Amino acid sequence: MNTLSEHIQWKGDGTGSLQVRVTPKASVNRIRIEERPEGPLVRVDVTVEPEDGKANKQVVKLL
C-alpha cells in the first residue's frame, strides 16, 4: 500500500515538498497520486464548495 510520505520529494536538510492539487465540488472525496515526469502530484477531490475555508478543512481531514 502506498503512503503519501513515499511521494514527498525530500531535501538534504530534512525538509520536503509535496505537490497537491485540490478539486472542490467533486462527486466523491478521494486522494489520488498522479505520476508525472517532473514528479508525483497528489490530487485531492472534495465534495464541499470552496467557500469560507470549507474545502481546505475537508482536505486536511482527508490527508
Task: Say if 10 falls within a structural domain.
Answer: no
Residue 27 grid coordinates: 462527486
pLDDT of amino acid 3: 66
- The pLDDT tens digits for 23-45 are 999 999 999 999 888 888 899 99
Total domains in the fold of the chain? 1
Radius of gyration of the chain (CA): 13
Distance of alpha carbon 58 from the chain centroid? 11
Task: Say if 11 falls within a structural domain.
Answer: no
Task: Say if 13 falls within a structural domain.
Answer: no
Task: Say if 52 falls within a structural domain.
Answer: yes
Task: Say if 12 falls within a structural domain.
Answer: no
Distance of alpha carbon 3 from the chain centroid? 12
Does 44 or 11 have the greater pLDDT score? Answer: 44
Domain that holds residue 47: 23-63
Show Cβ contacts of residue 37 under 8 Å, excluding neighbours closer than 6 positions: none
Q: Cα separation of 32 and 46, whole Å?
A: 12
Task: Say if 15 falls within a structural domain.
Answer: no
Task: Say if 57 falls within a structural domain.
Answer: yes
CB 31 within 8 A of CB 42: yes
Task: Say if 43 falls within a structural domain.
Answer: yes
